[in-house]
Amino acid sequence: TIPNAVQALLDLLNENNYLAYLVGGCLRDALLGIPLHDYDITTDATPMQMKEIFKNERCFATGETHGTLTVLKDNLPVEITTFRSEGNYSDHRHPDKVTFVRNLKEDLSRRDFTINALAYNPKEGLIDLFNGEKDLKSHLIRCIGKPEERFEEDALRILRGLRFSAQLGFTIEEETKQAMLELKGLLNYLSMERIREEILRLLVGKQAQRVIKEEKEILKVVLPEVNFEQKTELDKLPQEALFRFAYLIEELPKETVRKITYRFKFSNEQRDSLHDITDLAKEPLPRNKYELKLWLRGTSEKNVQFVFLLKGLKTNVSKVNELYNEIMSNQEIYRLKDLTVDGKDLLKLGYEGPQIGEELNKILEAVMRDKLNNDKKSIYQFLGKEPSC
């Protein structure tokens, strides 16, 4: 079933005498019974013509030179793209030029895999020029056309293939697989952002573990530092991409970890998490609540719990989990912001400048060690001061 919003856009194109089909991932996922997350329409209307047709809709020119317009209909983003073919790919990542073409066949034949090249509209039904439905049923990832040529054009397809294999649990067809192996060196031409996003999506795929094992030769091109052979416990970790990435690099020297997170252009926030997790994973487990509070003070609760999961792959972590639960259920504190006094209170007491921070840290330290209660009266006593009001 097509959402009304998407149907309305197809109808609008048809009423204006243009062809319009749903294509790509939404059909693949619909046939697999997987929930859909976006819709793509392909049409013979040019970007200019689309703009005219959709002038009353909320539109975003997301890739005008490539012929893509995103229409937001009933809050559903629908990407509408003009039938196109792509010229030479001299850099293995971008077509030198995009040519708009008159027919659907040419548009479908530039797509990556047979399972991604189905087209559909309610009038004509399913259009399957490359046996995509058969491959979908046999759970096969197969390139359209000659795999070598397709990977030479855009090497990202190699990683997309691995990602779909992990995500859908599909096998990579033999000829496609051979070409991936042969041309894996082309991955060096890709932008790190594109590589990173595919790797992160691969890692949370339901068969990520199998793909890591079977395709390590390819993955090593982008992550030569990682000992993929030893990464056999991915399935025991939560399906969170960043955490799983941390698992891949956890035991590498700190400088190597930093080089990788920099090379992969992770955001500062992501880098901080990856560094915190992999640094703590190298430390012995906290032996008491105070040591655990020091960990918690230094990073997020989520990161600490993830380190326990990582450590739990090798050692018994029940004791430290108990300590953690105790801290949480007692609402014991380990952050400055949770103290009942703040900088302003200390200013009123006559402290100045850097003294304020130093005193706050001393207070927190005493509270974390259970030597001081976190209430104003006790804290003022601890400081040897009387509150002014």
How buried is residue 65: exposed, middle or buried, by Cβ count under 10 Å (0-12/13-18/19+)? exposed
Q: Does 38 bind Mg ion (CB under 5 A)?
A: yes
Task: Decide if residue 200 touches ligand ATP (CB under 6 A).
Answer: no
Binding residue (CB under 6 A) for ligand ATP from 44, 107, 128, 154: 154
Using the rule CB under 6 A, is 111 a contact of ligand ATP?
yes
Query: Which has the closest alpha carbon to 281: 270, 273, 271?
Result: 273
Residue 18 or 89: the one with the smaller Cβ distance to ligand ATP is 89
- Decide which of ligand ATP, Mg ion, none touches 111; Cβ closer than 5 to 8 Å per partner kind: ligand ATP
Of the residues 24, 132, 147, 161, which one makes contact with ligand ATP according to CB under 6 A: 24
Please tell me the distance from the alpha carbon of residue 339 to that of residue 367, in angstroms, as a whole number. 9
Output the 3-class SS for the chain: CCCHHHHHHHHHHHHCCCCEEEECHHHHHHHHCCCCCCEEEEECCCHHHHHHHCCCCEEEEEEHHHCEEEEEECCEEEEEEECEEECCCCCCCCCCCEEECCCHHHHHHCCCEHHHCCEEECCCEEECCCCHHHHHHCCEECECCCHHHHHHHCCHHHHHHHHHHHHHCCEECHHHHHHHHHCHHHHHHCCHHHHHHHHHHHHCCCCHHHHHHHCHHHHHHHCCCCCHHHCCCHHHCCCCHHHHHHHHHCCCCHHHHHHHHHHCCCCHHHHHHHHHHHHHHCCCCCCCHHHHHHHHHHCCHHHHHHHHHHHHCCCCCHHHHHHHHHHHHCCCCCCHHHCCCCHHHHHHCCCCHHHHHHHHHHHHHHHHCCCCCCCHHHHHHHHCCCCCC
Q: Which stretch binds ligand ATP (CB under 6 A): 149-157, 176-184, 308-316, 370-378?
A: 149-157
Contact letters for ligand ATP, residues 38-57 (x by CB under 6 A): x-x-----------------
Q: Which is nearer to ligand ATP, 143 or 292 (CB)?
A: 143
Residue 231 interacts with which of ligand ATP, Mg ion, none, CB < 5 to 8 Å by class? none
Nearest approach in angstroms of CB 241 to ligand ATP is: 14
Structure tokens that stand for 364 in this block: 């927190």
Residue 36 or residue 336: which is nearer to Mg ion going by CB?
36
Q: Interface with ligand ATP by CB under 6 A: which range of 51-59, 112-120, 231-239, 320-328?
A: 112-120
Regarding 112 and contact with ligand ATP (CB under 6 A), the answer is yes
Site string for ligand ATP, 279-318 (x = CB under 6 A): ----------------------------------------
Tell me which of Mg ion, ligand ATP, none is bound by residue 116, counting a contact when its beta carbon lies within the kind-specific cut-off of 5 to 8 angstroms: ligand ATP
Applying CB under 6 A, among 43, 68, 114, 116 the residue interacting with ligand ATP is 116
* Nearest CB to ligand ATP, comparing residues 151 and 351: 151
196 counts as binding ligand ATP under rule CB under 6 A: no
Residue 312 within binding range of Mg ion, rule CB under 5 A: no
Does 25 sit near Mg ion (CB under 5 A)?
yes
Q: Which stretch binds Mg ion (CB under 5 A): 25-33, 161-169, 214-222, 372-380?
A: 25-33
Residue 151 or 306 with smaller CB distance to ligand ATP: 151
Minimal CB distance residue for Mg ion: 25
Residue 2, token pair as written in the block: 């097509």
> Which of 92, 142, 157, 293 is close enough to bind ligand ATP by CB under 6 A?
157
Q: How far apart are CA 361 and CA 110, in angstroms?
A: 61
Q: Is 58 helix (H, G, I), strand (E, B) or coil?
A: strand
Nearest distance from C-beta of residue 111 to ligand ATP, angstroms: 4
- Residues in the site for Mg ion, rule: CB under 5 A? 25, 38
- Residues in the site for ligand ATP, rule: CB under 6 A? 24-25, 38, 40, 111-112, 116-117, 154, 156-157, 160
